[in-house]
């Protein structure tokens, strides 16, 4: 006698988690014909020179698997950039790994560090992948609120949240969603707080080149005692307006990188070959990322001035202004009518 097709019952690992809000909002925007300022991707093209560099790599036959750790030329370019900007030299061979975007870098960093029962501090509000990543690794999420209104870190609360089971803390500057930028004094406070501990730092720095009003990005790489315990994550997608390419990287001391790569090799193994060569070639000029803050500050100012003419809103709203000027103006016109 035949039996009906039946899918075995499955106990979900994430009973409280549905589809990410970014997917939901973008789908709703498309359905309703709304201006989508919810998800952080540009609606303008990247530099044609970058596309040409990738196409050139493809035409040269650079289309097979690259090294698991990333194309050497790209790792060397990343190392040179970090040293020029932040004063710390990372060995391209042993301390730089190319990843399939920053989100993959973050989950791989968490999986390599966190064991079941370990505690990981997250500063809320935070990027939505942090918490499920920690839970997937079997860790316990310890939530510490950022200061209401300013979203600055409260080191008293961070210290109170630490315990002998604390394995890591995830920090994010410039911060998503508030855009708050940690100061040098705050990074030094974190360095001092962790000095006598075995707590690791996962430093999400994907917006490192989007710092406004003369501020300076304070990478964990600038602070020797922090750098010694940190996995630093960044993203080419954010920097070069190619979010769909999903390429990022992690910089970390060799001993941490070795553990990171153990997970990375079975997580994604390798990352798109021609795009790595194209990025390496394009990075020969630092001008594109050095000009990024001014490029986005102009868009921020345009949008902020427009918001000042709309109705008062006492809540906290997150907008992405990485859009064409006409897109921002259309959004402002609609907001003014609410």
d(CA 291, CA 286): 9
Peptide bond into 174 cis (omega under 30): yes
Token readout for 248 is 């990022």
**Alpha helix (H) ranges present in 15-66?**
21-32, 48-59
Residue extents of the structural domains in the chain: 21-45+291-336, 64-285
* 151 dihedral zone (left: phi>0; alpha: psi -120 to 50; beta): left
* pLDDT the model gives residue 163: 98
How crowded is residue 220: how many other Cβ atoms within 10 Å of its Cβ?
A: 28
Fold for domain 21-45+291-336? 3.90.1150
* pLDDT the model gives residue 325: 92
Q: Are 234 and 266 in contact, with CB atoms under 8 Å apart?
A: no
Q: Are 332 and 303 in contact, with CB atoms under 8 Å apart?
A: yes
152 Cβ neighbours under 8 A, 6+ residues apart: 146, 180, 186
Q: Which residues pair with 170 in a beta bridge?
A: 122, 202
* pLDDT the model gives residue 335: 87
Crossing angle for the helix pair 254-267 and 101-113, to the nearest 10 degrees:
110
Mean pLDDT, the chain cut into blocks of 10 residues (338 residues total): 77 80 82 83 92 98 97 98 98 98 97 97 95 96 96 98 98 95 98 97 97 96 98 96 96 98 96 98 95 94 90 76 91 87
Exposed / middle / buried, residue 62 (Cβ in 10 Å: 0-12, 13-18, 19+):
middle
* pLDDT the model gives residue 178: 92
72 Cβ neighbours under 8 A, 6+ residues apart: 92, 93
d(CA 232, CA 220): 7
228 Cβ neighbours under 8 A, 6+ residues apart: 253
- The DSSP 8-state label assigned to residue 243 in this structure reads G
Class of CATH domain 64-285:
alpha beta
């Amino acid at each position: 006698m035949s039996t009906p097709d039946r899918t075995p019952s499955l106990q979900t690992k994430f009973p409280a988690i549905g589809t990410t809000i970014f997917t939901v909002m973008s789908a709703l925007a498309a359905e309703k014909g709304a201006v989508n300022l919810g998800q952080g991707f540009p609606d303008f093209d990247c530099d044609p020179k970058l596309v040409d560099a990738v196409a050139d790599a493809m035409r040269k036959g650079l289309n097979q698997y690259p090294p698991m750790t990333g194309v050497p030329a790209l790792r060397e370019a990343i190392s040179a950039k970090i040293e020029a900007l932040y004063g710390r030299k990372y060995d391209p061979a042993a301390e730089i790994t190319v990843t399939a975007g920053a989100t993959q870098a973050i989950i791989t960093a968490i999986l390599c560090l966190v064991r079941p029962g370990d505690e990981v501090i997250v500063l809320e509000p935070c990027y939505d992948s942090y918490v499920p990543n920690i839970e997937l690794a079997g860790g316990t999420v310890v939530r510490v609120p950022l200061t209401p209104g300013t979203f600055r870190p409260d080191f008293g609360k961070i210290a109170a949240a630490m315990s002998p089971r604390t394995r890591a803390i995830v920090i994010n500057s410039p911060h998503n969603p508030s855009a708050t930028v940690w100061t040098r004094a705050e990074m030094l406070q974190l360095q001092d707080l962790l000095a006598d501990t075995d707590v690791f730092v996962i430093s999400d720095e994907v917006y490192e080149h989007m710092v406004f009003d003369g501020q300076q990005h304070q990478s964990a790489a600038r602070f020797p005692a922090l750098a010694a315990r940190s996995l630093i994550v960044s993203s080419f997608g954010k920097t070069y307006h190619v979010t769909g390419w999903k390429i990022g990287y992690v910089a970390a001391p060799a001993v941490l990188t070795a553990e990171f790569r153990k997970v990375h090799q079975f997580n994604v193994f390798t990352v798109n070959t021609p795009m790595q060569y194209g990025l390496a070639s394009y990075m020969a000029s630092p001008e594109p990322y050095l000009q990024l803050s001014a490029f986005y500050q102009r868009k921020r100012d345009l949008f902020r001035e427009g918001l000042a003419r709309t109705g008062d809103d006492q809540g906290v709203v997150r907008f992405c202004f990485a859009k064409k000027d006409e897109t921002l103006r259309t959004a402002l016109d609609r907001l003014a009518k609410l």
